[in-house]
């Protein structure tokens, strides 16, 4: 655990030192759970957005993208259920004065039991070596079976109390599980209360005419209210999707863990409208498609897992998360929800307008069902940054910190470095940049020794470093160094564009 916390701290400090992420309004001591993306962070974030947009919109001819307003008519949030039901159950520890989400305390408790099971299995592997039959072991070992049963019992009770909004029951479950506050170590808990996560403000300048409006807590509703606008103006035929990237705001109770849980964050959401009854087919399709999208980044297939929701949101008939192995452990990265026709029907009811589709093949009007994919951009950023951050000991015993960011997402694609600041080498380096800069973000770097410059580029994840030396002036060749292998080869300047493109083009991820 301590090691994991150290890893997160290291990533946070690296992100700040190299201009990826800064605490927001830091000169005023920052603002909790709010962060600013710096010069390199914005590039990485834009590249992640572009990867998502291209894969969703550009690669699917039946998906289009929109950009709806953050402010929406307040009735939107009545219709969507957020005014009444977008709550988190919270509980305070009276000794540490720390506040927690009750459901998260229970999830973490179950995760600890799961770890015990895995430790038991590990012991079995050590004890029995090659003869170990894991399947048999899991099915018969009394400690494993006891813990599996324990998790199931907690899950069942948790589902029941959360679904019936039985806050006393949630409290009792926390007490029965003997969950202690991680800070004070005590079980001195307050009762459990509900807390609405929406931020509100007022619109209108004339006193009395002001109305409460909300900062959107998800981008999805901007898609639902535009369903017919897009369908009609784009002549879209079901099944089709509407995608959107944008800010969302939630007054999170427990906002820790860097950019993982923020009060202002960005979502990349897609609502896929389909025929009623076909939603489970599309739910499975999107689970697989989104899983492939993540894995194509090469951060390690075993870094992801699916987690089915215990308590379904008020709008869903099936839901799961794609979890990622963050420095804090496996946590939600993306949600995939089968939202039925809940949202469109609610908007029909509250607006009094029909939100239906005429299906020419069925010769029938209906309210489409929706499968949603929703991934947090900031969480994607943290996943990429934390999985890419490595401290390596090299063959000669020296050390380097490298960000092995997938090349297509890296902020700078290439650094061009004159060996010295004289003899026309800087001019030649700039000439090379002039040939590359229309397609790739390039950095010119002439300060310090070449070794130090390489280390700097490693630390910001630049896939290629090109060095211009005296030989360049004679025969138009340069050395190109690969960030990951650190190999250097001499190539013609004329080949640079192709060599770089082969590795950094977004196509490498999209095919
Ligand atoms: N429209 C559905 C929806 O909003 P969600 O599971 O509440 O579903 C979707 O959120 C994704 O948004 C999450 O999987 C997560 O990646 C991201 N997200 C949610 N709350 C967040 C927060 N406070 N900070 C950063 N990302 C967040």
Beta bridge partners of 335: 321, 374
The answer to whether residues 359 and 330 belong to one domain is yes
The last residue of a domain, from among 323, 357, 391: 391
Residue nearest to atom 20 of ligand 1 (CA): 261
Does ligand 1 have an atom closer than 6 angstroms to the CB of 294? no
Distance CA 137, CA 127 (A): 12
The answer to whether residues 191 and 245 belong to one domain is no
The answer to whether residues 227 and 368 belong to one domain is yes
pLDDT in tens, 113-145: 999 999 999 999 998 888 889 999 999 999 999
Distance CA 416, CA 419 (A): 10
Q: How far is the CA of 375 from the centre of ligand 1 (A)?
A: 7
Is residue 1 one of the residues assigned to a domain? no
Q: How far is the CA of 261 from the centre of ligand 1 (A)?
A: 8
Per-residue pLDDT at 11 exceeds 90: yes
The answer to whether residues 296 and 413 belong to one domain is no
CA distances from 84 to 44, 73, 225, 377 (A): 37, 16, 19, 27
The answer to whether residues 186 and 222 belong to one domain is no
Per-residue pLDDT at 1 exceeds 80: no
Q: How far is the CA of 40 from the centre of ligand 1 (A)?
A: 23
Does ligand 1 have an atom closer than 6 angstroms to the CB of 343? no
Atom of ligand 1 nearest to the CA of 267: 12
Tokens of 183: 């800070």
Cα four-point dihedral sign 351, 337, 56, 329? positive
Is residue 13 one of the residues assigned to a domain? no
- What residues contact residue 83 under an 8 Å CB cut-off, 6+ apart? 77, 196, 198
Per-residue pLDDT at 366 exceeds 80: yes
For residues 439-452, give the mean pLDDT. 96
Q: How far is the CA of 377 from the centre of ligand 1 (A)?
A: 9
Are residues 465 and 413 in contact, defined by beta-carbon separation less than 8 angstroms?
Answer: no
The answer to whether residues 462 and 494 belong to one domain is yes
The answer to whether residues 177 and 232 belong to one domain is no
Residue nearest to atom 22 of ligand 1 (CA): 261
The answer to whether residues 221 and 181 belong to one domain is no
Per-residue pLDDT at 255 exceeds 90: no
Mutate to test the pocket of ligand 1, among 24, 81, 216, 267 (most ligand atoms within 8 A of CB): 267
Is residue 16 one of the residues assigned to a domain? no
The last residue of a domain, from among 143, 163, 196: 196
Is residue 300 one of the residues assigned to a domain? yes
Does ligand 1 have an atom closer than 6 angstroms to the CB of 269? yes
Does ligand 1 have an atom closer than 6 angstroms to the CB of 333? yes
The domain spanning residue 463 has which CATH number?
3.40.50.800
Cβ neighbours, 10 Å, residue 19: 16
The answer to whether residues 65 and 107 belong to one domain is no
Q: How far is the CA of 378 from the centre of ligand 1 (A)?
A: 10
The answer to whether residues 296 and 399 belong to one domain is no
Is residue 94 one of the residues assigned to a domain? yes
Q: Quick one: the chain helix, strand, coil %, rounded to 5?
A: 45, 25, 30
Domain count, the chain: 3
Q: How far is the CA of 252 from the centre of ligand 1 (A)?
A: 11
Residue nearest to atom 27 of ligand 1 (CA): 376
Are residues 167 and 192 in contact, defined by beta-carbon separation less than 8 angstroms?
Answer: yes
Beta bridge partners of 337: 319, 372
pLDDT at 207: 62
pLDDT at 212: 87
Is residue 12 one of the residues assigned to a domain? no
Residue with tokens 């340069």: 478
* 1-5, 205-209, 368-372, 478-482: segment of lowest average pLDDT: 1-5
Does ligand 1 have an atom closer than 6 angstroms to the CB of 375? yes
The answer to whether residues 142 and 168 belong to one domain is yes
Does ligand 1 have an atom closer than 6 angstroms to the CB of 267? yes
* 74-83, 204-213, 241-250: segment of lowest average pLDDT: 204-213
The domain spanning residue 221 has which CATH number?
3.30.930.10
- State the chain's maximal CA–CA distance in angstroms: 81
pLDDT at 162: 86
pLDDT at 2: 47
Does ligand 1 have an atom closer than 6 angstroms to the CB of 261? yes
Per-residue pLDDT at 217 exceeds 60: yes
Structural domain of 422: 394-510
Atom of ligand 1 nearest to the CA of 376: 16
Residue nearest to atom 16 of ligand 1 (CA): 376
Is residue 77 one of the residues assigned to a domain? no
Q: How far is the CA of 431 from the centre of ligand 1 (A)?
A: 45
Distance CA 161, CA 311 (A): 10
Are residues 21 and 44 in contact, defined by beta-carbon separation less than 8 angstroms?
Answer: no
**Quick one: pLDDT band at residue 484, thresholds 50, 70, 90?**
very high
Does ligand 1 have an atom closer than 6 angstroms to the CB of 407? no
CA distances from 394 to 44, 120, 456, 461, 485 (A): 27, 36, 16, 17, 11
Residue nearest to atom 26 of ligand 1 (CA): 376
The C-alpha torsion from 437 through 49 and 288 to 58, rounded to 10°, is -70
Does ligand 1 have an atom closer than 6 angstroms to the CB of 376? yes
The last residue of a domain, from among 391, 420, 439: 391
The answer to whether residues 232 and 160 belong to one domain is no
**Quick one: pLDDT band at residue 315, thresholds 50, 70, 90?**
confident
For residues 158-178, give the mean pLDDT. 93
Residue nearest to atom 21 of ligand 1 (CA): 261
Is residue 354 one of the residues assigned to a domain? yes
Atom of ligand 1 nearest to the CA of 374: 9
Does ligand 1 have an atom closer than 6 angstroms to the CB of 55? no
């Amino acid at each position: 655990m301590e090691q994991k916390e150290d890893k997160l701290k290291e990533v946070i400090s690296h992100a700040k030192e190299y201009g990826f992420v800064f605490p927001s309004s830091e000169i005023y001591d920052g603002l909790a759970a709010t962060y600013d993306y710096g010069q390199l962070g914005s590039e990485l974030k834009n590249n992640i957005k572009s990867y998502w947009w291209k894969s969703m919109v550009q690669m699917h001819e039946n998906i289009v993208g929109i950009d709806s307003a953050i402010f929406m008519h307040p009735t939107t949030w009545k219709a969507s259920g957020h005014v009444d039901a977008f709550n988190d159950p919270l509980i305070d520890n009276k000794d540490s004065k720390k506040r927690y989400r009750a459901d998260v305390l229970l999830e973490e408790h179950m995760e600890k039991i799961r770890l015990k099971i895995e430790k038991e299995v590990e012991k079995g592997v050590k004890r029995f070596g090659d003869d170990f039959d894991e399947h048999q072991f899991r099915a018969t070992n009394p400690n494993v079976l006891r813990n599996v049963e324990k998790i199931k019992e907690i899950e069942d009770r948790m589902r029941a109390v959360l679904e019936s909004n039985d806050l006393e029951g949630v409290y009792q479950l926390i007490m029965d599980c003997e969950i202690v506050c991680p800070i004070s170590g005590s079980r001195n808990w307050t009762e459990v209360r509900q807390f609405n996560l929406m931020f509100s403000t007022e619109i209108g300048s004339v006193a009395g005419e002001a109305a409460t409006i909300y900062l959107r807590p998800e981008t999805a509703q901007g898609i639902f209210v535009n369903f017919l606008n897009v369908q009609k103006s784009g002549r879209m035929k079901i099944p089709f999707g509407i995608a959107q990237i944008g800010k969302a705001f939630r007054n999170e109770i427990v906002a820790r863990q860097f950019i993982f849980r923020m009060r202002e964050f960005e979502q990349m959401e897609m609502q896929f409208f389909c025929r009623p009854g076909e939603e489970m087919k599309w739910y499975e399709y999107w689970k697989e498609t989104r899983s492939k999208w993540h894995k194509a980044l090469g951060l390690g297939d075993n870094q992801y897992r699916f987690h089915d929701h215990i308590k379904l949101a008020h709008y869903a008939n099936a839901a799961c998360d794609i979890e990622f192995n963050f420095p804090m452990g496996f946590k939600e990265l993306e949600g995939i929800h089968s939202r039925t026709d809940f949202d469109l029907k609610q908007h029909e009811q509250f607006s009094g307008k029909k939100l239906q589709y005429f299906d020419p093949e069925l010769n029938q009007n209906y309210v489409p069902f929706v499968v949603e994919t929703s991934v947090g951009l900031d969480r994607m950023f943290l996943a990429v940054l934390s999985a890419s951050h490595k401290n390596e000991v090299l063959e000669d015993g020296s050390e380097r910190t490298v960000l092995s960011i997938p090349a297509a997402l890296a902020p700078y694609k290439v650094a061009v470095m004159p060996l010295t600041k004289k003899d026309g080498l800087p001019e030649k380096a700039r000439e090379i940049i002039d040939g590359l800069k229309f397609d790739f973000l390039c950095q010119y770097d002439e300060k310090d020794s070449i070794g130090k410059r390489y280390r700097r580029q490693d630390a910001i994840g630049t896939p290629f470093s090109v060095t211009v030396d005296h030989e360049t002036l004679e025969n138009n060749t340069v050395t190109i160094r690969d960030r990951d292998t650190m190999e250097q080869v001499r190539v013609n300047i004329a080949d640079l564009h192709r060599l770089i493109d082969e590795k950094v083009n977004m196509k490498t991820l999209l095919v």
